[in-house]
């Protein structure tokens, strides 16, 4: 046999003596191969390794026996090629194949848990294992030896065991996490009038991937008071071994009871931005009679086609060459579903009008021409709100999305071009502006004064200070400086601002409808305008060189802000401030006087713009925090002078 034909691993320990014999390299024994030339086999060599040299056999073939390896080979080759390795099955083997697995058999348990996972993941009822004939027939055909247990077995054994494993897995993932946010909501099932309270955790993994898990969905039979909600939330956090110090935010709707419950539990409270947007729009609709009546009339039309008349509408759509689509029914808790209702009836306006012209004995009328115009203008007005709702309801949208979109919406509503296009709903537009200013969580002054919103947008590399004026940008810089100093001193930050909203983001999508597309373009033009707006102080023209230089000088107040923030920190014995003077004497505008001074007013402007360093003396070792202000363009060829400033009293 040629070396190229020796494909079996057994030849690693054998050499060919002649055409029907081989010799073991380990013990020197010669073995017959049961044939000559092509009819010779390696079976005797395998058996020799298995009985005399077990470690070598396992190295070549693993722990599987010859019989099992033969069966595996049968699955890959024709039976005729391996007939020498097979044996006729015994009666016991045949009976074993027909025997049902015991309920505790490892193979049966694996099936139990796979079905249990299906019930949990797909939200299937337990009755699927008993009363769903198609499912039982499917399982019996692919696994005739497996007998599906009863629903009680799954509800009392399988599902609880899966739940405990999932709980332990989530706890192990949450243990190393230092900051966890929660979303919570309360609702009542309309079918059985049962109330539920949910609690979902959100966190960042060490790999900076977003993790989230539903921790609890509790039946809530108690009165919906703030005290009961507080107790339920505290119990949820305690049951999952989450310290209160790790809770960074609890996002909820605007209901007074759940807001108070979260605050009473001493959790940072963040009201849902989308729910606030819902309140703003619904209140504006309720305050405008013509808009409210138009939407009610549109709902009657949609309800009619969802119960009857759809076949006739479908025929008309086909005749007119319109898309064969059903009309959208809106949901009272989702304002954008009302937008989709209006958008769809505008798309199917011709088909709806033909239907009313050909139908008799209807107990309601089609929209009037004025109402159709109101629907059209509402779409133009609300299209940006729909886009912002999709963007900020995404799983991956951070709170930093709130200020940019709130600013842009306000700018959009005040556009003169929009006023010309929505003249029939001008009162509705004014109501939106009024509501956005009136609702605390949507008011721009509140958003910019709230440190959580201010910092998150400032630190977001997409936005930075693009949506801030100069004062707001300066406040954000000071807040970041204070946070950096506190972190450097390992001090606790107990000033987390309460009552902020969540936000989530999705990709922008241009609507196919021309009207909505115009609104889309106008809105994002406002977004770009707001982002490009000047962020400098503007007592004078920002292009003026003097104004530009005074704007640079403002950054030096960060040093004073640092001192002010550190005055509240305990265990500080003193603070030295070292400021390097300019290295280029030609641009100096006078000396400040003494080498050691105690007043920033006595330093010249270039010294104030130079790099600064704080040396903080604590009860422990000295800690150094380097803070660099905006540097002027100066030469570094000459060593810098050093100014020393003790802590202010």
Q: What average pLDDT does range 57-65 have in this prediction?
A: 68
Taking alpha carbons only, the member of 32, 5, 37 closest to residue 47 is 32
Instruction: Note whether 231 and 296 are same-domain residues.
Output: no
Q: Is 644 exposed, middle or buried (0-12, 13-18, 19+ CB in 10 A)?
A: middle
Listed in sequence order, the DSSP H helices in 124-158 are 133-142, 151-153
Tell me which of 271, 304, 334 is where a domain ends. Answer: 271
What confidence tier does 635 reach under pLDDT thresholds 50, 70, 90? very low
CA distances from 66 to 5, 22, 23, 24, 86 (A): 21, 19, 20, 19, 10
Instruction: Note whether 590 and 459 are same-domain residues.
Output: no
- Give the C-alpha separation, 118 to 110, whole Å: 13
Least confident of 393-397, 423-427, 436-440, 533-537: 533-537
Which residues are CB-contacts of 293 (< 8 A; sequence separation ≥ 6)? 371
Helix (H, G, I), strand (E, B) or coil at 104: coil
Instruction: Note whether 481 and 352 are same-domain residues.
Output: yes
592 pLDDT exceeds 50? no
Tell me which of 488, 512, 529 is where a domain ends. Answer: 488
Pick the residue with more confidence: 571 or 288?
288
Least confident of 137-146, 284-293, 556-565: 556-565
pLDDT digits (tens, 9 = 90+) for 510-542: 344 556 676 767 766 777 776 666 444 343 443
Taking alpha carbons only, the member of 253, 242, 243 closest to residue 213 is 242
What confidence tier does 291 reach under pLDDT thresholds 50, 70, 90? very high
Instruction: Note whether 319 and 453 are same-domain residues.
Output: yes
Query: Of all residues in the chain, what percent are helix, strand and coil, respectively (each to 5)?
Result: 55, 10, 35
CA distances from 558 to 19, 332, 603 (A): 93, 49, 15
Long-range CB contacts for residues 212-217, cutoff 8 Å, separation at least 24 = 212/395, 213/170, 213/173, 215/170, 215/239, 215/240
Q: At what angle do helices 335-347 and 349-358 cross, to 10 degrees?
A: 70
Instruction: Note whether 362 and 253 are same-domain residues.
Output: no
For residue 75 the two structure tokens come to 């699955």
132 pLDDT exceeds 60? yes
634 pLDDT exceeds 60? no
Q: What pLDDT shows up at residue 562?
A: 64
Taking alpha carbons only, the member of 396, 278, 287, 406 closest to residue 337 is 278
- Give the C-alpha separation, 457 to 468, whole Å: 9
- Give the C-alpha separation, 607 to 627, whole Å: 14
Task: Calculate the average pLDDT of the chain.
Answer: 76
- Give the C-alpha separation, 518 to 513, whole Å: 9
Name the range with the highest mean pLDDT among 37-41, 367-371, 624-628, 629-633. 367-371
Cα within 13 Å of Cα(381), Cβ side: 29
614 pLDDT exceeds 80? no
480 pLDDT exceeds 50? yes
What confidence tier does 152 reach under pLDDT thresholds 50, 70, 90? very high
- Give the C-alpha separation, 406 to 529, whole Å: 13
What confidence tier does 564 reach under pLDDT thresholds 50, 70, 90? low
Work out how many domains the chain is built from and give that number.
Answer: 5
Q: What pLDDT shows up at residue 333?
A: 85
Q: Is 527 within the bounds of a domain? A: no
The tokens 């020498």 sit on which residue? 84
Instruction: Note whether 380 and 422 are same-domain residues.
Output: yes
Beta bridge partners of 203: 211
DSSP letter assigned to residue 422: T
492 pLDDT exceeds 60? no
Tell me which of 470, 488, 506 is where a domain ends. Answer: 488
- Give the C-alpha separation, 588 to 74, whole Å: 92
Taking alpha carbons only, the member of 388, 296, 284 closest to residue 341 is 296
Q: What pLDDT shows up at residue 505?
A: 35
Which string of DSSP letters, residue by residue, matches 554-568? GGGHHHHHHHHHHTT
Instruction: Note whether 362 and 432 are same-domain residues.
Output: yes
Q: What pLDDT shows up at residue 230?
A: 92
Q: What is the CATH number of the domain that holds 183?
A: 3.30.420.10
Q: Is 410 within the bounds of a domain? A: yes
Q: What pLDDT shows up at residue 293?
A: 93
Q: Is 300 within the bounds of a domain? A: yes
Q: What average pLDDT does range 121-150 have in this prediction?
A: 91
391 pLDDT exceeds 60? yes
The tokens 């390097």 sit on which residue? 580
216 pLDDT exceeds 50? yes
Q: Is 92 within the bounds of a domain? A: no
Q: What pLDDT shows up at residue 515?
A: 62
Domain residues for the domain of 641 are: 551-645
- Give the C-alpha separation, 462 to 33, whole Å: 75
Q: Is 501 within the bounds of a domain? A: no
Which residues are CB-contacts of 196 (< 8 A; sequence separation ≥ 6)? 186, 187, 188, 189, 217, 218, 219, 220
Contact 489, 573 (CB under 8 A): no
Q: With pLDDT > 90 as the criterion, what percentage of the chain qualifies?
A: 26
Q: What pLDDT shows up at residue 605?
A: 55
CA distances from 496 to 265, 451, 479 (A): 15, 8, 12
Instruction: Note whether 354 and 475 are same-domain residues.
Output: yes
Least confident of 107-111, 399-403, 418-422, 498-502: 498-502
Length in residues, the chain: 649
Contact 557, 481 (CB under 8 A): no
Instruction: Note whether 321 and 380 are same-domain residues.
Output: yes
560 pLDDT exceeds 80? no
- Give the C-alpha separation, 559 to 570, whole Å: 19
Q: Is 51 within the bounds of a domain? A: yes
546 pLDDT exceeds 80? no
Q: Is 93 within the bounds of a domain? A: no
What confidence tier does 346 reach under pLDDT thresholds 50, 70, 90? very high
Which residues are CB-contacts of 498 (< 8 A; sequence separation ≥ 6)? 263, 268, 269
Least confident of 77-81, 157-161, 344-348, 456-460: 77-81
Instruction: Note whether 365 and 388 are same-domain residues.
Output: yes
Q: What pLDDT shows up at residue 525?
A: 73
Instruction: Note whether 467 and 613 are same-domain residues.
Output: no
What confidence tier does 108 reach under pLDDT thresholds 50, 70, 90? very high
Do strands 247-252 and 180-188 pair parallel, antiparallel, or not at all (unpaired)?
A: parallel
What confidence tier does 598 reach under pLDDT thresholds 50, 70, 90? low
Pick the residue with more confidence: 631 or 6?
6
301 pLDDT exceeds 60? yes
Q: Is 635 within the bounds of a domain? A: yes
CA 22, chain centre distance (Å): 66
Instruction: Note whether 354 and 430 are same-domain residues.
Output: yes
pLDDT digits (tens, 9 = 90+) for 233-263: 999 999 999 999 999 889 998 889 999 999 9
Q: Is 192 exposed, middle or buried (0-12, 13-18, 19+ CB in 10 A)?
A: exposed
What confidence tier does 83 reach under pLDDT thresholds 50, 70, 90? very low
173 pLDDT exceeds 50? yes
Q: What pLDDT shows up at residue 579?
A: 59
């Amino acid at each position: 046999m040629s070396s190229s034909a020796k494909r079996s691993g057994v030849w690693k320990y054998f050499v060919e003596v002649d055409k029907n014999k081989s010799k073991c390299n380990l013990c020197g024994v010669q073995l017959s191969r049961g044939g000559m030339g092509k009819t010779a086999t390696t079976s005797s060599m395998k058996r020799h390794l298995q009985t005399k040299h077990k470690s070598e056999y396992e190295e070549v073939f693993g722990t599987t026996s010859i019989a099992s390896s033969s069966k595996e080979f049968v699955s890959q080759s024709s039976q005729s090629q391996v007939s020498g390795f097979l044996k006729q099955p015994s009666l016991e083997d045949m009976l074993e194949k027909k025997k049902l697995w015991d309920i505790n058999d490892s193979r049966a348990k694996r099936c139990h848990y796979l079905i249990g996972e299906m019930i949990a993941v797909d939200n299937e009822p337990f009755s699927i294992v008993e009363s769903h004939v198609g499912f039982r027939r499917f399982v019996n055909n692919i696994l005739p030896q497996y007998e599906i247990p009863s629903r009680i077995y799954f509800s009392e054994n399988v599902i609880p065991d899966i739940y405990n494993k999932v709980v332990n897995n989530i706890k192990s993932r949450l243990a190393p996490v230092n900051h966890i946010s929660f979303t919570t909501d309360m609702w009542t099932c309309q079918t059985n009038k049962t109330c539920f309270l949910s609690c979902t955790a959100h966190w960042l993994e060490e790999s900076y991937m977003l993790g989230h898990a539903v921790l609890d969905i509790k039946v809530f039979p108690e009165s919906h008071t703030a005290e009961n909600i507080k107790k339920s939330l505290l119990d949820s956090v305690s049951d999952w071994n989450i310290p209160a110090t790790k809770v960074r935010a609890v996002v909820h709707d605007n209901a007074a009871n759940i807001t108070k419950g979260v605050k009473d539990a001493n959790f940072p409270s963040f009201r849902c931005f989308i729910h606030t947007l819902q309140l703003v729009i619904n209140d504006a609709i309720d305050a405008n009679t013509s808009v409210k009546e138009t939407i009610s009339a549109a709902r009657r039309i949609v309800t009619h086609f969802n119960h009857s008349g759809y076949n006739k509408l479908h025929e008309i759509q086909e005749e007119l060459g319109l898309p064969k689509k059903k009309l959208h029914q809106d949901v009272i808790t989702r304002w954008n579903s009302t937008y989709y209702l209006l958008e769809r009836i505008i798309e199917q306006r011709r088909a709806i009008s033909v239907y009313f012209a050909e139908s008799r004995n209807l107990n309601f009328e089609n929209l009037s021409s004025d109402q159709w115009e109101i629907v059209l203008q509402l779409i133009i007005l609300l299209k940006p709100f729909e886009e912002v709702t999709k963007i900020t309801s995404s799983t991956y949208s951070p709170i930093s999305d709130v200020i940019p979109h709130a600013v842009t919406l306000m700018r959009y509503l005040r556009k003169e071009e929009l006023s010309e296009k929505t003249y029939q709903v001008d009162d509705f537009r004014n109501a939106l502006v009024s509501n956005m200013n009136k609702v605390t969580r949507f008011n721009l002054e509140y958003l910019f004064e709230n440190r959580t919103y201010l910092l998150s947008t400032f630190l977001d590399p997409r936005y930075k200070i693009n949506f801030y004026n100069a004062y707001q940008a300066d406040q954000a810089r000071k807040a970041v400086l204070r946070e950096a100093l506190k972190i450097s001193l390992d001090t606790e930050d107990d000033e987390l601002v309460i009552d902020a909203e969540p936000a989530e983001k999705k990709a922008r999508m241009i609507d196919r409808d021309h009207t909505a597309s115009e609104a889309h373009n106008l809105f994002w033009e406002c977004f770009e305008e707001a982002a490009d707006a000047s962020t400098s102080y503007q007592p004078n023209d920002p292009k003026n060189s003097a104004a530009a230089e005074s704007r640079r000088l403002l950054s030096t107040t960060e040093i004073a802000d640092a001192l002010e923030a550190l005055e509240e920190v305990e265990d500080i014995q003193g603070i030295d401030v070292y400021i390097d003077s300019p290295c280029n004497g030609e641009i100096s505008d006078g000396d400040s006087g003494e080498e050691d001074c105690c007043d920033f007013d006595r330093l010249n402007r270039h010294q104030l713009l130079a790099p600064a360093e704080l040396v903080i003396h604590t009860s422990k070792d000295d800690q150094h925090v380097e803070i660099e202000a905006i540097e002027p363009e100066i030469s570094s060829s000459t060593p810098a002078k050093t100014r020393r400033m003790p802590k202010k009293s």
